[in-house]
Copies of this chain bind each other. A is one copy, B any other.
Amino acid sequence: MIENPQIPRDYLPFWPRLTGSQQELILRQAQLRRIPKDEIVHNGKEDCVGLLLVIEGQLRVFTLSEEGRELTLYRLFPWDMCLFSASCLLKGIDFHVIVQAQQPSLVLHIPPDTYRQLMEESLPVSLYTNELMATHFSDVMWQMDQILNKKMDSRLAALLLEESALAGSDSVSSTHEKLARHLGSAREVVSRLLQYFASEGLIRLGRGSILLLDRPALERLASASLR
């Protein structure tokens, strides 16, 4: 915890529409927190963390199947707000997600009681919560569409392109295990597909990294709906 934080008000879209005492409440209660890479910041509905606003870094929101398979639902970047770390406060939410730092991150933490009070008092905060939930709902619907309508090769090609764009490089640093977890699949399935991609000249496999060789071919594959 950093004492007396400079609260980055610009990051709160509802800030100008709050009353003076609501603004004071946030200034008094919110705190900046540094999160090391790989730390799990929220684990399931009972874990009542509160709202997290990403200032720097990246958070990943995923679900876990009974057999321990992960599926990435969406990622949060600077300016994004993590709603489901406050899911204990959201009536009607009945599922568990896990939030993990993908990179060392700096977040603004608004405690659950503070957020609850703001929701119960402020129409702008409630409307913004609505909008956030709708956005995440849309992300999940997109994922569902991917799973239902794309074969794994399309999804893997799309993931490689996404990771490459995030890294700003043709080289993707990731293990087969990690890629499989993103896709909710098994490592063996992903390894087999990567070897197939390599044999077709789309990628080159290195130690803990994958080099994208034929981006147009990967893009064609990613956009194909083949099932």
A126 interface neighbour in B90, B92, B127, B136, Cβ under 8 Å: B127
Most B CB within 10 A of own CB, among A95, A130, A143: A130
Instruction: State whether B138 touches A94 (Cβ < 8 A).
Output: yes
Q: Is residue A167 contacting chain B, with contact meaning CB distance below 8 A?
A: no
Contact residues of A between 37 and 79, Cβ < 8 Å to B: 63, 65-67, 69, 71
Q: Say how far A156's CB is from chain B's closest CB, in angstroms.
A: 16
Chain A interface residue bracket vs B? 35 or more
Q: Is residue A133 contacting chain B, with contact meaning CB distance below 8 A?
A: yes
Q: Which residues of B contact A133 (CB under 8 A)?
A: 92, 130, 133-134, 137
Q: Which residues of B contact A119 (CB under 8 A)?
A: 127
Contact residues of A between 96 and 120, Cβ < 8 Å to B: 119-120
Instruction: State whether A148 touches B90 (Cβ < 8 A).
Output: no
Q: Which residue of B lies closest to A143 (CB)?
A: B144
Q: Is residue A159 contacting chain B, with contact meaning CB distance below 8 A?
A: no
Q: Which residues of B contact A149 (CB under 8 A)?
A: 65-67, 69
In the bound assembly, the distance between CA atoms of A225 and B68 in angstroms comes to: 12
30 contacts between A and B (CB under 8 A): A63-B144, A63-B145, A66-B149, A67-B149, A69-B148, A71-B144, A71-B148, A90-B131, A92-B131, A92-B133, A92-B135, A92-B138, A93-B134, A94-B135, A94-B141, A95-B137, A95-B145, A119-B127, A120-B123, A120-B127, A122-B123, A126-B126, A126-B127, A126-B130, A133-B133, A136-B137, A140-B140, A144-B147, A147-B148, A148-B184
